[in-house]
């Protein structure tokens, strides 16, 4: 039978081992562990500083590249759209800075931006029955009339396109009526700071930037219906030569997959995309459709250089180039 002395010796051994561990931890082992941890922290800090330096250098390189592309683009675009009238139409969610950059790029090329319109959220937030009734009202003023199976959004887009095309026609009151219908009421479908200064011969549609992945992964349970932007662009394309600039994974991909006879530019928000706008529009007016940008669905990174003939002066109200 194990006696008391055995228990006492066991307890003494345990406490002795504990004391030795404390002594070692407070002495040589602690110093070794501390030095190891300190070295790892210093190495991580050095890696962080190196990455920060590399990132700062990369940002400088990108800014320098964008400045060079912008300057060269301005020189090459100068006068390429002289005498051309253009409308810029921003879709819901389009960034104001992107819209302003597109307007500036068209101005550098000599184009006259006769109208700048923005589609509102009413295209999706209003009651579908109301939109259907409203579209039927618009259809009575459209020439040519919309297809029998056209959606309300397509009819409204066609109304906007015909308004821009036929504006200032002395013998056609419909454009002014359509414009007031589209921007009137408590929930206007478009906003337009000023009336168009003239009829337009082409349209540039500006879409929103890509949606961040985090937002896509956790959609809101009360998310609003999505706008059928490709159908809207399709209605405009059937009325006027059109270039659309937007996100490669959303609007632009939809248009390209639909095979619409129009030109598209992906990678909105980047300098090369904005610089491409006047060149793409010149090519479109010259009858050349293209898919420009860096996405897999693009067929070339930049538009071709197309020299347009001087536009023919036509009476107000008739189609312009």
Give 249 or 67, the one with higher predicted confidence: 249
Give 99 or 28, the one with higher predicted confidence: 99
Report the chain's terminal Cα–Cα distance, integer Å: 112
**Residue 52: pLDDT band with limits 50, 70, 90:** confident
- What is the reported pTM? 0.79
**Residue 7: pLDDT band with limits 50, 70, 90:** low
> What's the rounded Cα separation, in Å, for the pair 36 and 96?
53
User: In 78-151, where does DSSP find H-type helix?
Assistant: 96-108, 122-125, 128-139
Instruction: State pLDDT tens for residues 125-183.
Output: 999 999 999 999 999 999 999 999 999 999 999 999 999 999 987 789 999 999 999 99
**Residue 317: pLDDT band with limits 50, 70, 90:** very low
| The pLDDT of residue 261 | 95
Instruction: State pLDDT tens for residues 184-219.
Output: 988 999 999 788 999 999 999 999 998 776 555 555
Task: Say whether pLDDT at 75 is over 50.
Answer: yes
As a whole number, mean pLDDT of residues 295-303 equals 95
| The pLDDT of residue 57 | 77
Instruction: State pLDDT tens for residues 274-296.
Output: 999 999 999 999 999 999 999 99
- With 0-12 CB in 10 A as exposed, 13-18 as middle and 19+ as buried, what is 320? buried
Q: For the chain, list the strands marked E by DSSP.
A: 85-90, 112-119, 190-192, 202-206, 242-245, 263-265, 291-292
Instruction: State pLDDT tens for residues 81-136.
Output: 999 999 999 999 999 999 999 999 999 999 999 999 999 999 989 999 999 999 99
- With 0-12 CB in 10 A as exposed, 13-18 as middle and 19+ as buried, what is 49? exposed
Task: Say whether pLDDT at 12 is over 50.
Answer: yes
Q: At what angle do helices 152-166 and 128-139 cross, to 10 degrees?
A: 40
Q: How many CB atoms lie within 10 A of CB 126?
A: 16
Q: Which 3-state string (H, E, C) describes 1-37? A: CCCHHHHHHHHHHHHHHHHHHHHHHHCHHHHHHHHHH
Domain ranges within the chain, ordered by starting residue: 1-77, 80-292
| The pLDDT of residue 49 | 81
> What's the rounded Cα separation, in Å, for the pair 151 and 157?
10
Q: What is the CATH code for 80-292? A: 3.40.50.2300
> What's the rounded Cα separation, in Å, for the pair 181 and 140?
12
**Residue 44: pLDDT band with limits 50, 70, 90:** confident
Task: Say whether pLDDT at 270 is over 80.
Answer: yes
Measuring CA to CA, which residue among 260, 227, 267 is closest to residue 93? 227
- With 0-12 CB in 10 A as exposed, 13-18 as middle and 19+ as buried, what is 133? exposed
């Amino acid at each position: 039978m194990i006696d008391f002395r055995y228990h006492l010796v066991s307890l003494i051994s345990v406490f002795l081992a504990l004391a030795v561990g404390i002594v070692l931890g407070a002495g040589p082992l602690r110093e070794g562990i501390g030095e190891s941890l300190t070295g790892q922290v210093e190495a991580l800090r050095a890696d962080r500083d190196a990455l920060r330096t590399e990132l700062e250098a990369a940002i400088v390189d990108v800014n320098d590249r964008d400045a060079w592309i912008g300057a060269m683009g301005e020189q090459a675009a100068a006068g390429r759209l002289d005498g051309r009238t253009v409308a810029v139409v921003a879709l819901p969610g389009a960034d104001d800075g992107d819209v302003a950059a597109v307007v500036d790029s068209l101005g550098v090329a000599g184009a006259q931006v006769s109208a700048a319109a923005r589609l509102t959220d009413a295209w999706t937030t209003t009651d579908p029955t109301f939109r259907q009734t409203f579209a039927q009202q618009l259809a009575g003023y459209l020439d040519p009339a919309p297809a029998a199976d056209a959606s309300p959004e397509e009819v409204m887009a066609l109304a906007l396109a015909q308004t821009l095309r036929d504006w200032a026609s002395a013998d056609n009151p419909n454009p002014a009526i359509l414009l007031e219908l589209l921007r009137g009421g408590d929930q206007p479908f478009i906003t337009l700071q000023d009336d168009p200064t003239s009829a337009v011969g082409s349209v540039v549609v500006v879409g929103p930037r890509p949606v961040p992945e985090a937002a896509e992964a956790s959609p809101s349970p009360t998310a609003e219906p999505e706008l059928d932007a490709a159908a809207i662009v399709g209605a405009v394309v059937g009325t006027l030569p059109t270039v659309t600039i937007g996100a490669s994974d959303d609007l632009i991909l939809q248009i390209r997959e639909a095979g619409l006879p129009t030109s598209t530019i992906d990678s909105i928000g980047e300098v090369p995309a904005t610089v491409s706008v006047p060149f793409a529009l010149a090519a479109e007016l010259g009858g050349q459709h293209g898919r420009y940008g860096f996405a897999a669905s693009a067929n070339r990174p930049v538009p071709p250089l197309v020299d347009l003939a001087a536009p023919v002066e036509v009476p107000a109200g008739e189609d312009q180039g």
